[in-house]
Chain A
Amino acid sequence: VIEWHTLCAPHAAQNQLTSLICQGAFDRNPDLKVVMLEGGVVWIQWLMWRLDQQYREFRNVVPWVKRLPSAHIRDNVRASSQPTTEVTPQEFERLVELSGTEMIYMFATDYPHYDADTAASVFPKSMSKDLRDRVRYRNALEFYPKLAGFTG
């Protein structure tokens, strides 16, 4: 269960996201929006850095990809918070700041699974209001077309 819980969803999310980018899904469909669920979020910064590095070195094998992979992720991909990794709010904020990914994260509970998260535990008041609000509702309002016009 440790192996499954640690790797299953985050690995699947990274595999799928890497294929979507390298196979040109976002270049062909610039309005395509993808949300990765139940895989957590603290792998996404590494994936962006690694994909960008590989793209800088091997753009010629995927010449149909016209932008840095991290740009596609910022514009077209979101990831839900559950399951949280046990980092402090300050550590998470630092990671977000380092990677420029404040628009990526959206709150999810995974209720009624035993390891569900609550908003209060994941995004406590010690986190900056701007990032808390983004994760709790603003990122979703901006990302889902059917929520256009809602202001929270």
Chain B
Amino acid sequence: MTRHEVCALDELEPGQMRAVDLDGTPIVVIRTQSGDLHALRDRCPHMLASLSKGLVLENVNSPSIGHYELDDDRFVVRCPWHGYEFDVSTGVCEADPRRAKVRSYPLVVDDGTIYLER
């Protein structure tokens, strides 16, 4: 497994994303509002938009019909084109987990620097 430097941890604020080209593979590195780091393939499987141009959001959940609540421990990246949402930690689209999913990649932080491992 090879390490690929992304950027310094403090260059990526909570809620921000960064697009990375890893030997021709588009990857989005995501830092959630709670500070966690994740990496997904930077292409929505619907129409291949760059997820890195979308938004990182708390997942919208519902305790009962007609009521909304936000998960503060679960984040999604929302596609800028049509709104498909992918869990940042698994790459799975909750609306259609069987058909809509993006690959996730391992990350490490070493001495204040984010690395992709591949």
Contacts and interface: CB of A to CB of B under 8 A. Distances in A.
A52 to B, nearest CB: 7
Contact of B68 (A27, A57, A63, A68): A63
A52 B96 contact: yes
15 contacts: A24-B65, A52-B96, A56-B46, A56-B82, A56-B95, A56-B96, A56-B100, A57-B84, A59-B85, A59-B94, A60-B83, A63-B62, A64-B64, A64-B65, A68-B96
A28 interface: yes
A73 to B, nearest CB: 15
A105 interface: no
Interface in A27-75: 27-28, 52, 55-60, 63-64, 68
A57 B82 contact: yes
B24 interface: no
Interface of B: 46, 60-62, 64-68, 82-85, 93-96, 100
B61 A58 contact: no
Contacts of A24: 65-66
A58 B96 CA distance: 12
Contacts of B93: 56
B96 A63 contact: no
Contacts of A60: 60, 83, 85
Nearest to B97: A68
Contact of B95 (A23, A28, A55, A64): A55
B61 A63 contact: yes
Contacts of B64: 64
Contacts of A56: 46, 82, 84, 93, 95-96, 100
Contacts of B61: 63
A142 to B, nearest CB: 24
Given A56-B46, A58-B83, A59-B60, 11 more contacts: A24-B66, A56-B82, A57-B84, A59-B94, A60-B60, A60-B83, A63-B60, A63-B61, A63-B62, A63-B68, A64-B67
